[in-house]
Structure 1
């Protein structure tokens, strides 16, 4: 034990030494009490090692004795500014004295949460493309939101989204943002210095917006990390400044940021409109009579020869434009630097603006002017109108959802950040949870009047057969072929007779062929699958010279977009399996099977392995998360029955093997995952395995569970190479039992797996995996061979028999009446004749 303690102590020292030095800059201006509270929290409350912190306080020439008190504060380096340099200049002065590889900026009227620094540094360490980390900022009591995301209006004004709302955890997913708030921001020192730091001409306000904007333009990402929390007394430093001075700075700085950072085409349309809008905003806010100088004003009206009273809020807008004009020569030089260094277009950054056409002020005269300027000067042409996108699934949508519905839901959510999106299910079982986009059940017969609304339609599964008019429509179709259904049917149909089985595979293969013939863009789950679909495209004649010459890589037609997971790590929201399943205790070692029990899986070997291990480890428990599919139309497969029977025969049901006969709601599954010690997925060695993408494995990544998987699929390769767990041969209960024992009882090995999972997990967030779809929908185009003048593709592949053409009509019944067995039953007589004909060589 002492040797183990020494090893752990040495590792902790090494880990601490590997952490970057973080220089924290706090600017004080006549707020010494707040500043001292902030500095003391930095010294005493953080879990980041104190010897890896470099705390710098800049006093902005307060002149009130602040400097003397701050100089006496231990563990803080005081830098005295020669004059009030504002927030921007004060921060830059502090950076001149900083020694750290990471710079952190914290408002003097804020205090950090314990993991404020460690959470942000972890993001920078995990991803070199991230140049800055924006922290989550709450009010002083931690109840309301100050900053969780930011938007940018087309005229250069930044704004906070969700500010003042109750912090209910709904904004706790990490994401890319255009900018972070200067009240809590971490930046790589090399990046900050390369950009010249904050623009000191701004003095205060929008210097953080401008920095993030420039960072994104140069190809760096700004990442919001909700675990890096600070608490802020909002605008305590501005409590003595009237709102006209603040409005002046905001108006002037918005124009300056706009001028520096947008492309020439954007500037030509946006700047004249922004200047005019600044004037209208000023007169509207001051309720100034806009017609008081009209020549037609009657002499019996007010005296027009004397001075005119002008509200300070109106004067602020006028002077902002005046000072912007004064700044133009120096801004021109800055613009040349930024435009030469840009790596991303204005269009690329449009999603990070959130809502570029945000009007952001309520006055009626202002709103009228905004809309008139946008339309007349063509501002909306530059920033683009939102596209109308319809995501269609045939799966049931409810609180309990399976893979296809989950994928469609997340597509709608990610695309909805940029476009107008509707999620439609053709399945009558539709009781959706609350969503930020419309979710509707529409019967296939009623869809004909709905689909013309969409510019782009994203579909999956059998939807194209259920809505056959889409095959000849001019709309852009994205076909999601992440599920090789025909390979699943080779396994699932084993219980059918030869004719029935052949027919089902024929039908599903043709369903997929029709999608590959018609689609403008395709998504698959892995590089392995991409090879499969490239072969299929070639076999049906879709890989034409026209397509190939347009893009020899064919990635503009067929992209890899695997299943994803939430960017927010799994957090407990309620009781899990240990509380809900009788027979599983707090100290037991739990193996979780997270998903349904289907014919192409091998849960039998897993049950045998647990039976072997229980004689050696009496606390091992295996739990099946869901035995009954959430879609009532999907019948239970025979493999589920076999698994129950085996566990009963071995007499381990309720003692070492447990079956959840229902289905855990999608938004509660994390509580079951977090109660487990490892996740497992086992399957047979066959062609379905080769091209499968086991979505349940992503839940294991999400919850940080070490993974045990059978060899042969794409995830097995990743588990092996990334050190996420163990890979075992197919149908080998001894090897599987040994793997379970190592993962469950070798704590050092399990800890290494968890650390590796934390890194890999970031690659599978929904916003990452759906990036190809997002990129396509920004500028959707028909596939090269479907554009004007190109020969139209046939809807069905050459050589498909007339019988199979007619059989496609059975797909609706297949979906609605219970699967392949039901299709086969309804057509069994004719299918037997079809097989006999084939056997005779006809």
Structure 2
């Protein structure tokens, strides 16, 4: 059952806007009416607003305040009448999207550590951004990042934020009350910043959810308020939030600097001559010193804000004590959520000069720190046409760049990247060290560690994340079947060593599935990485090895042009298209698929199989034998360019959705071998993204998913008849195909890049060396030396052990070896230490 949601709307002399907002809430939301409580607080408008609202929207509970409590107090008053488990706050000059409530509730139900959901807010016409992310400066001023930018879809990924905008947000009701609600001393402005800050300090997450969408008339409620009064509230409330929420150590440096900067902001804003009272500038006529000095209201706002901040300090001190006692996260933990803490915020020359001086003198760069630097390295080509490893590295960089300063470096000669919000560059092995020196965290994959010997040194303190989603040695077992036996064994030993080096060095490991996780746990245990210290700290061992599958975009695919139908010859709009969405490698089985198409075409002449890309975009990856055999088989059966089509190039990553949207189902077939058992077929995720029913061979982790969730049909390996039947069912059984698509719509939400990369995101927020790599991590319990009785007891046990192992001969051999060693030690002037192991 869905929770009851209480929506609070505050009105102050804006009845027309408020009625529009409330009608949208009561009539247009996709949420059960009996699970929705609408509350409107009239903040002593004194213009008949309350009665107008009651008449216009009878289903709304109108609460009249005896005085204007501001936005913060008005919301809290409304919450006092709320019955819901979830509280929603919406500005009276905003309107909700149909799914505004449902999308937010879904997040709160799915993620128990999320305390509040920040909605995506656009302008009234839905063209420009009002809120998609929040930033906070070191001096306490919160701001909306990307405000007034066009909404081009680039901010449609869910993410953790420091705060949501009070114009459209959701909070767990019990939690909101536990925190005392919005701070009513703020009246309006930054009460949402303060609430989000406090939530994060207590260990809760504030989650931006773009599907929870609202539209806002920017500052309609402030249209009659003088700008100087707005400045006063902004200045005062920034200081109040700063004082309440920073730790003692940080506040000691930040507050004096913030106060000084507030004064400079006021004088710069009011264009006040800062030298007019210098003793050397005394006027000739002393009477002029008694004349009033004009001060603009914009400058006065800053001075009075400091004055009133001082007035609030006694009550703020009590609040500060509460917040600091309840905090569970450090200031440093929240710096990434501040986005750009050192942002000056005002483009005034004198102000900027003062900002730089204060930052340097008070050492604020050290206090708030620069953004954490994350280096993602891949050996794959970074171009418009990217293969799996590059796509994975790219999306890691993209997701992490929301909180960190990220560089994506490829060791491949091909580097012509699409536009990105992060730095992308190519580096040869000899050029890698400066990038390694720059980084705090290094995420690598493939053979990269072998090209960075500085990281392999035992004394290296860099935090290294190893992405071992590709079991390369298992791939090589299958891929190298046609090579000379000696070379195959040598190649396998080399790749195994590459992986072992990573497993011995890494601080954190990523794999693609639970099956892989079990496999890599065995590797780590064999290498001695599963130490008692690690186990005692984390019995799940997920702090060392976590599952990060391949992901897919959070936004559904959008067609940008034609791809298959009407483009490839002999494929019409009415044909049934089966898509093989990836390369053709030796560990796959496209031959059985072609045979199945040959069987099925007799009854279904409209069947078309399309291979998306035969040529790998990385020139270092050679064409594989199975690709040629597949072409030859299709030609021999008379299927080529009639029922089987080969796209010889690699489709650009940004265009693949057009091919997927032209298909009716997605297929992947492979042989039954150990590579399949631990493989993660990334193409299947594109099928999920596009909502395509899936036909797959049994044996891998995705086959389990398809079978369990009803996403398509799973078939035995190398069985053309079963494969033909499966294709016929997903293509021509309309009800079955629709059922698959319905399930896919639910399951694919689990695989968005933001979701699957959560373990990496969490690690990068609080990176630390693996427990067994910490200096001084030796066991605290030391073995005490054995006394004479203990030594005798030990020797008797050894006597029995040697007799059991090999009888009198083994006992004599061991005893002789022991006598020789003791004699040698005495000749060298040694002698064994008490308790030393003296087995022969």
TM exceeding 0.5: yes
**Counterpart-to-counterpart distance in 2, 1:703 and 1:463:** 33
Distance 1:80 1:572, change over 3 A: farther
Give yes or no for contact 1:137–1:230 (8 Å, CA) kept in 2. Answer: yes
SS at 1:167 equivalent: coil
Contact 1:55/1:75 (8 A) holds in 2: no
CA distance in 2, matches of 1:428, 1:559: 31
Among residues 103, 115, 118, which one is paired with 1:131 in the alignment? 115
Out of 38, 49, 60, the position equivalent to 1:66 is 49
Q: Distance in 2 between matches of 1:343 and 1:754?
A: 43
- Corresponding residue of 1:398: 383
Local SS of the residue matching 1:514: helix
Q: Give the aligned partner of residue 502 of structure 1.
A: 489
Q: Can you list the C-alpha shifts for 1:380-422, whole angstroms capped at 9, x where unaligned?
A: 3333333443322221111110111112222222333333332
1:170 to 150, 154, 158: 154
In the alignment, is the contact (CA less than 8 A) between 1:681 and 1:697 conserved in 2?
yes
Deviations 1:785-828 (A, max 9, x none): 6666799xxxxxxxxxxxxxxxxxxxxxxxxxxxxxxxxxxxxx
The answer for the alignment partner of 1:95 in structure 2 is 79
In structure 2, relative to structure 1, the CA distance for the partners of 1:115 and 1:776 (3 Å cut) is closer
Q: Residue 690 of structure 1 aligns with which residue?
A: 677
Cα distance, 1:535–1:286 mapped onto 2, change above 3 Å: same
Match of 2:337 among 336, 352, 365: 352
Aligned pairs for 1:361-760 (under 5 A) are 361-447=346-432, 451-472=436-457, 474=460, 476=462, 477-540=464-527, 555-746=542-733, 749-760=736-747
Q: Map 1:133-282 onto structure 2 (within 5 A).
A: 133-282=117-266
Structure 1 residue 491 displacement after superposition: 0.8
The 1:578/1:214 distance shift into structure 2, 3 A limit, reads farther
In structure 2, C-alpha distance between the alignment counterparts of 1:301 and 1:609, rounded to whole Å: 105
- How far apart in 1 are the matches of 2:631 and 2:312? 76
* Structure 1, unpaired ranges of 5+: 1-17, 792-842
Which range moved further: 497-506 or 531-540? Answer: 531-540
Structure 2: how far apart are the matches of 1:132 and 1:748?
Answer: 39
Report the alpha carbon displacement of residue 125 of structure 1 after superposing the two structures with TM. 4.3
For residues 501 and 176 of structure 1, do their structure 2 counterparts lie closer, same or farther at Cα, with a shift above 3 Å needed?
Answer: same
Greater radius of gyration (CA): 2
**Aligned-residue offset at 1:208:** 1.8
Distance in 1, Cα, partners of 2:290 & 2:177: 54
Q: Does 1:30 align with 2:13?
A: yes
Distance 1:742 1:263, change over 3 A: farther
Q: Is the 8 A contact 2:454 2:460 kept in 1?
A: no
User: Cα 1:51–1:515, aligned 2, differ >3 Å: closer, same or farther?
Assistant: closer
The alpha-carbon deviation at position 489 of structure 1 amounts to 0.9
Contact preservation (8 Å) 2:23, 2:57: no
Q: Report the Cα distance in structure 1 between the residues aligned to 2:327 and 2:665, rounded to whole angstroms.
A: 45
Secondary structure of the residue aligned to 2:595 is helix
CA distance in 1, matches of 2:330, 2:735: 46
Paired position in structure 2 for 1:328: 313
The 2-side partners of 1:523 and 1:118 are apart by 33
Given that 2:158 and 2:754 are in contact with CA atoms closer than 8 Å, whether structure 1 keeps it comes out as: no
- Which segment is superposed worse, 272-281 or 762-771? 762-771
* 2:22/2:57 contact within 8 Å kept: no
Query: 2:324 and 2:725 mapped to 1: Cα distance?
Result: 59
Query: Residues 113 and 229 of structure 1 are in contact (CA less than 8 Å); yes or no, is this contact kept in structure 2?
Result: yes
String of CA shifts for 1:63-118, please: whole Å, max 9, x gaps: 22333322220444233222222222222333333444443332222233344344
- Taking structure 1 as reference, are residues 336 and 586 closer, same or farther at Cα in structure 2, changes over 3 Å only? farther
Instruction: After superposition, give the CA deviation of every residue in 1:120-153 in whole Å (9 maximum; x if it has no partner).
Output: 3443444444333322222222222111111122
Distance change >3 Å, CA 431–CA 140, structure 1 → 2 = same
Tell me, yes or no, if the aligned pair for 1:199 and 1:207 is still in contact at 8 Å: yes
Shift of 1:751: 4.7
Matched position secondary structure for 1:182: coil
Alpha-carbon distance in 1 for matches of 2:578, 2:257: 62
SS of 2:623 mapped into structure 1: coil
Alignment partner of 1:699: what SS?
A: helix
Q: Is the CA contact 1:174–1:568 (under 8 Å) kept in the aligned structure 2?
A: no
Greater mean deviation of Cα atoms: 79-88 or 233-242? 79-88
Q: Does 1:119 align with 2:103?
A: yes
Superposed displacement of residue 232, structure 1: 1.9
Task: State the Cα deviation string for residues 685-708 of structure 1 (Å, max 9, x = none).
Answer: 111112212222222333333433
CA deviation after TM superposition for structure 1 residue 219, in Å: 3.7
Q: How far 1:488 moved relative to its partner?
A: 0.6
Q: CA RMSD in A?
A: 3.1
| Superposed displacement of residue 620, structure 1 | 4.3
Query: 1:304, CA displacement in angstroms?
Result: 3.0
Q: Distance in 1 between matches of 2:542 and 2:30?
A: 45
How many pairs are equivalent? 774
SS in 2 for 1:103: strand
1:360 CA displacement: 1.2
Flag the 1:735–1:269 CA change in 2: closer, same or farther, 3 A: farther
The whole-number CA distance in structure 2 between the counterparts of 1:643 and 1:129 is 50
Q: Aligned in 2, Cα 1:552/1:182: closer, same or farther, shift over 3 Å?
A: closer
**Displacement of 1:44 after TM fit?**
4.3
In structure 2, stretches of 5+ residues that fail to align are 779-840
TM-aligned CA distance change 1:527 to 1:47, over 3 Å: closer
Relative contact order, CA 8 A, sep 6+: which one is greater?
A: 1
TM-score by length of 1: 0.84
The residue number in structure 2 matching 1:830 is none
Contact kept in structure 1, 2:139 and 2:258, CA below 8 Å? yes
Aligned to 1:10: none
Verify the 8 A CA contact 2:282 2:289 in the aligned structure 1: no
Separation of aligned partners in 2, 1:323 and 1:745? 73
1:825 matched residue in structure 2: none
